Structure 1
Amino acid sequence: MKLPKETTRLYFQPITTKHRSFLDVLFKRSMLPLVNQNHSIEQCMNHIRNQYITFKVGLWAVHQKTDHKAVGVAGLLLNKINHNTVIELGYAIHPDYQGDGYATEAARSCCSFGFYVHHFPKIYARTHPDNKRSISVLQNLDFQCRQEIRGAEPSLLFESTSIM
């Protein structure tokens, strides 16, 4: 399986059962991106693995090169937005590692993977309107806000056709 390129500080691995306890922390804090919170963690992990097999994309565990610790997840998943199937970027950095630029670094590598390896014409991302850090990550990557989605879970929809 192809993975996003390593960055200066990070590398990617497919999510496996060895990441379960780490994913549990993100899942319980509702931080696991692009995952239905009404499902169990096992169902979420199966969904992620099925995306790898079927579409050759998915969420990957993000590890530090220095100590090999998992610091978060990042990746691309097929998802439905406004009744359209799209490629959506998702990322989450464990609270212990936030504020060090890992989200931007991992998201940039995932987007490059999507544009240059898979040749996706567009990549979308959603975030809560109050999530200033995530909005900043997307703006740093040259994503453009296209619409506000209202409802039970409001979000801002971002789109990119290239990566900075």
Structure 2
Amino acid sequence: MNDQYQAYGHSCWLLNDRKTSRTIGMDGVLLEEIMGEAVLEVAYVIKEPFQGQGYATERLQACIGIIFHQICAPRFVVQCAVENVASCKVADMYRIVCMK
């Protein structure tokens, strides 16, 4: 991930709980190769005790802002397993479709 930051100026960030400053997950904007094409991917992982508290929604919104306003990319992907209903609901709020 450090290589991505040095090469492209973006990567993943640790997420800390606002009250305790404990690390609760990570998120970021990564350059990935998907089906032979280089694409920006929003990635987020929230530790289980902190899920369902709006962190993923907040961080997806922040990453979308970074993609469109700082990186100025026209599109991106979010990969989440279709069986991860909560992540698919977060993506659906922004009209992002989860696919197998």
Taking structure 1 as the reference length, the TM-score comes to 0.58
Instruction: Return the offset for 1:74.
Output: 0.7
* Residue deviations 1:114-157 (CA, integer Å, cap 9, x gap): 11111011010111121111100101123245xx4xxxxxx3xx
2:61 corresponds, among 108, 124, 129, to 108
Give the Cα separation in 2 of the matches to 1:53 and 1:59.
12
Give the Cα separation in 2 of the matches to 1:99 and 1:129.
17
The reply on whether 1:56 has 2:56 as its aligned counterpart is no
Secondary structure in 1 aligned to 2:62? helix
Instruction: Return the offset for 1:67.
Output: 2.1
Instruction: Return the offset for 1:94.
Output: 0.5
Letter in 2 for 1:83: G
Secondary structure in 2 aligned to 1:50? helix
The reply on whether 1:85 has 2:38 as its aligned counterpart is yes
Aligned position for 2:51:
98
* Residue deviations 1:58-78 (CA, integer Å, cap 9, x gap): 111011232222111111100
Contact 2:88 2:97 in 1 (8 A): no
* Residue deviations 1:6-60 (CA, integer Å, cap 9, x gap): xxxxxxxxxxxxxxxxxxxxxxxxxxxxxxxxxxxxxxxxxx1111111111111
Off by >3 Å, runs of 4+ in structure 1: none
Contact 1:114 1:120 in 2 (8 A): yes
Note the residue ranges of structure 1 that are not aligned, 5 or more in a row: 1-47, 149-154, 156-164
Note the residue ranges of structure 2 that are not aligned, 5 or more in a row: none
Give the Cα separation in 1 of the matches to 2:95 and 2:29.
17
Secondary structure in 1 aligned to 2:79? strand
Aligned position for 1:118:
71
Query: What is the number of equivalent residue pairs in this alignment?
Result: 100
Q: Looking at CA atoms only, which structure, 1 or 2, has the larger radius of gyration?
A: 1
Instruction: Return the offset for 1:89.
Output: 0.7
Aligned position for 2:88:
135
* Residue deviations 1:70-96 (CA, integer Å, cap 9, x gap): 111111100011110000010000111
Secondary structure in 2 aligned to 1:138? helix
The percent of aligned pairs where both chains have the same amino acid is 26
Contact 1:104 1:141 in 2 (8 A): no
